[in-house]
């Protein structure tokens, strides 16, 4: 491989000739050959947006000349619109402040801007002007998270909620047996059961919207330790406004930069909502696969789409594969939540140095939840059907319909009818008549499942 010599404050280092990065990126590549995980592209995009906004504001505040500011902004625009993904190769497992990725972005922007403008543009002196990795990286974490929520998570939540609401409306009058403790319980409608799932998704959507608001406060302007050293007055507010104009999101500068640099409580709270969403999706997916179990030897009340053969040995088998994917994603998100919580607890003095692993976990959860909701919605929930004959059969055989008799016969009297019916394998009606508790006409008047919902 042909190389060129690059220099930084530590001296010379050899860089691949075609690479747009410089010495600090190469040192990181050399020093952190750890794992397969790379810094997420969402973080790179957010960092580039920050650099573009900072260049505009630095020119406005007269700490950067207009020609260099314009060149940096144009280079950032190129990176955002073209494919430069191979120029951001650094491992996730690097310095905990994200400094090397910040410098990777600085160096690539500086190289593109210098080549395009034929000006001398320095990655630190010009691209990183008025900034520190310590305020840039947490700013990028928030921007990346907010954009991922707006672009992916909320649309996926909208879609799954809409489809579930349609199913709830469709089956609002279909009476079925309820189940608690995995045992028969009193009736409800299938629409009511699915309506509970709808409410879960609506509440999660509301909690996402509320919690993500806190992430719209940006750390930029705090520089190294939160004091704002080497940044012009009002720099943070103006950059937040500029990022807002670039993204269409109402970002603002954080009121306390000391908090922004060292604490990640806002991301912990936000990811807690993702964990709640994962828990609700786990519940819905498990309900679907339990209710669709069978088709003949299980509950069999729901019919799931037959997307692919379910077994390599058993012909004709259809498995709840989409539900299984949901539950695996839920488990991963719950694991990510532990990572985020532990990482956030490591904000020593003026800086948290677990930021790369934190943002990777957050973005991983957003991406997985978004993808799995879209897949589950389109390939399972949209095609979900009720087996009405099976639902009626199971409902009418349930012993818990006897609950309707408790106000008339008392708890113990109703229980004795259920016990007799169960032990002798007869219906509740037959048991009530045989015991002389009720006539057949009285039983039919009292035990009406459609009146019990």
181 noted as active-site residue: yes
- According to CATH, what is the number of the domain 3-129? 1.10.275.10
For tokens 């719209």, the residue is 216
pLDDT of residue 263: 98
Residues 56-66: what's their mean pLDDT?
98
- 160 is written with which tokens? 């799954």
82 contacts: CB under 8 Å, gap ≥ 6: none
Question: On the CB side of 396, how many CA atoms lie within 13 Å of its CA?
Answer: 8
pLDDT over 90 at 234, yes or no: yes
pLDDT of residue 420: 97
Closest CA to 112 of 215, 202, 21: 21
Could you say which of 9, 81, 181, 423 is catalytic?
A: 181
**CATH classification number, 399-451, choose in 3.30.930.10, 1.10.40.30, 3.90.1150.10, 3.30.70.1560:** 1.10.40.30
The span from the CA of 428 to the CA of 447, in Å, is 10
Share of the chain above pLDDT 70, in %: 100
Q: Which residues are annotated as a binding site?
A: 97-99, 122-125, 132-134, 180, 312, 317-319
25 within 8 A of 86, measured Cβ to Cβ:
no
Q: What is the pLDDT of residues 144-197, one digit of tens each?
A: 999 999 999 999 999 999 999 999 999 999 999 999 999 999 999 999 999 999
pLDDT of residue 167: 98
Which helix (H) or strand (E) element contains residue 51? Answer: helix 41-60
Q: Which residues are annotated as a binding site for substrate?
A: 97-99, 122-125, 132-134, 180, 312, 317-319
List phi, psi (to 5°) of 95. -60, 140
259 noted as active-site residue: no
Q: What is the pLDDT of residues 244-259, one digit of tens each?
A: 999 999 999 999 999 9
List phi, psi (to 5°) of 393. -60, -50
List phi, psi (to 5°) of 14. -90, 130
pLDDT of residue 203: 98
pLDDT of residue 122: 98
Q: What is the pLDDT of residues 328-358, one digit of tens each?
A: 999 999 999 999 999 999 999 999 999 999 9
What is the DSSP annotation of 96-157? TT-HHHHHHHHHHHHHHHHHHH-S---IIIIITTT--HHHHHHHHHHHHHHHHIIIIIHHHH
Q: Which is it for the CA torsion 264, 270, 273, 279, positive or negative? A: negative
392 contacts: CB under 8 Å, gap ≥ 6: none
| Confidence tier at 320 by pLDDT (50, 70, 90) | very high
Q: Delimit the CATH 1.10.275.10 region(s) of the chain.
A: 3-129
| Confidence tier at 42 by pLDDT (50, 70, 90) | very high
pLDDT of residue 392: 97
pLDDT over 90 at 59, yes or no: yes
Q: Delimit the CATH 1.10.40.30 region(s) of the chain.
A: 399-451
- 255 is written with which tokens? 């009121």
pLDDT of residue 1: 85
pLDDT of residue 268: 98
Residues 390-405: what's their mean pLDDT?
96
152 within 8 A of 367, measured Cβ to Cβ:
yes
pLDDT of residue 233: 95
CATH architecture of 142-389: Up-down Bundle (1.20)
| Confidence tier at 429 by pLDDT (50, 70, 90) | very high
The span from the CA of 171 to the CA of 392, in Å, is 13
**Which neighbouring-strand residues pair with 184?**
179
What stretches of 297-368 adopt beta strand conformation (E)?
302-303, 347-348, 351-352
| Confidence tier at 67 by pLDDT (50, 70, 90) | very high
Could you say which of 85, 311, 345, 439 is catalytic?
A: 311
> SS3 letters for 372-441?
HHHHHHHHCHHHCEECHHHHHHHHHHCHHHHHHHHHHHHHHHHHHHHHHHHHHCCCHHHHHHHCCCCCHH
- pTM value is 0.97
């Amino acid at each position: 491989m042909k190389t060129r010599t690059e220099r930084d404050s530590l001296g010379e280092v050899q860089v691949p000739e075609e690479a747009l990065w410089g010495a600090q990126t190469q040192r990181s590549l050399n020093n952190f050959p750890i794992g397969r995980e790379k810094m997420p592209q969402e973080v790179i995009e957010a960092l580039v947006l920050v650099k573009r906004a900072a260049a505009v504001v630095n020119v406005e505040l007269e700490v950067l000349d207009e020609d260099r500011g314009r060149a940096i902004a144009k280079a950032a625009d190129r990176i955002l619109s073209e494919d430069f993904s191979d120029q951001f190769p650094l491992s996730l497992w690097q310095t905990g402040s994200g400094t090397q990725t910040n410098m990777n972005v600085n160096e690539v922007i500086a190289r593109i801007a210098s080549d395009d403008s034929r000006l001398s543009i320095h990655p630190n002196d010009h691209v990183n002007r008025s900034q520190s990795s310590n305020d840039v990286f947490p700013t990028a974490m928030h921007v990346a998270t907010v954009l991922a929520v707006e672009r992916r998570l909320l649309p996926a939540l909208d879609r799954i909620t809409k489809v579930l609401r349609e199913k709830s409306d469709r089956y609002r009058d279909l009476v079925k047996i309820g189940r608690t403790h995995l045992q028969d319980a009193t009736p409800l409608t299938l629409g009511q059961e699915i309506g509970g799932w709808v409410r879960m998704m609506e509440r999660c959507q509301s909690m996402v919207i509320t919690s993500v608001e806190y992430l719209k406060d940006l750390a930029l302007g705090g520089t190294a330790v939160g004091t704002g050293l080497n940044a012009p007055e009002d720099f943070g507010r103006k950059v937040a406004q500029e990022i807002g104009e670039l993204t269409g999101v109402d970002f603002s500068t954080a009121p306390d930069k000391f908090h922004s640099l060292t604490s990640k409580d806002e991301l912990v709270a936000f990811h807690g909502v993702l964990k709640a969403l994962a828990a609700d999706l786990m519940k819905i997916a498990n309900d679907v696969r339990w209710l669709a179990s069978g088709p003949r030897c299980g509950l069999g009340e729901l019919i799931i789409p037959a997307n692919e053969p379910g077994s390599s040995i058993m012909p004709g088998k259809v498995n709840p594969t989409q539900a299984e994917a949901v539950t695996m994603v839920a488990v991963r998100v719950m694991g990510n939540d532990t990572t985020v919580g532990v990482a956030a607890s490591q904000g020593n003095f003026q800086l948290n140095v677990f930021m790369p692993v934190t943002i990777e976990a957050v973005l991983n959860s957003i991406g997985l939840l978004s993808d799995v909701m879209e897949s589950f919605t389109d390939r399972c929930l949209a095609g979900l059907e009720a087996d009405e004959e099976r639902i009626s059969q199971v409902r009418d055989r349930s012993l818990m319909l006897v609950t309707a008799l408790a106000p008339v016969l008392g708890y113990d009297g109703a229980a004795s009818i259920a016990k007799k019916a169960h032990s002798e394998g007869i219906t509740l009606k037959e048991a009530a008549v045989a015991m002389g508790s009720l006539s057949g006409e009285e039983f039919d008047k009292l035990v009406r499942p459609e009146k019990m919902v």
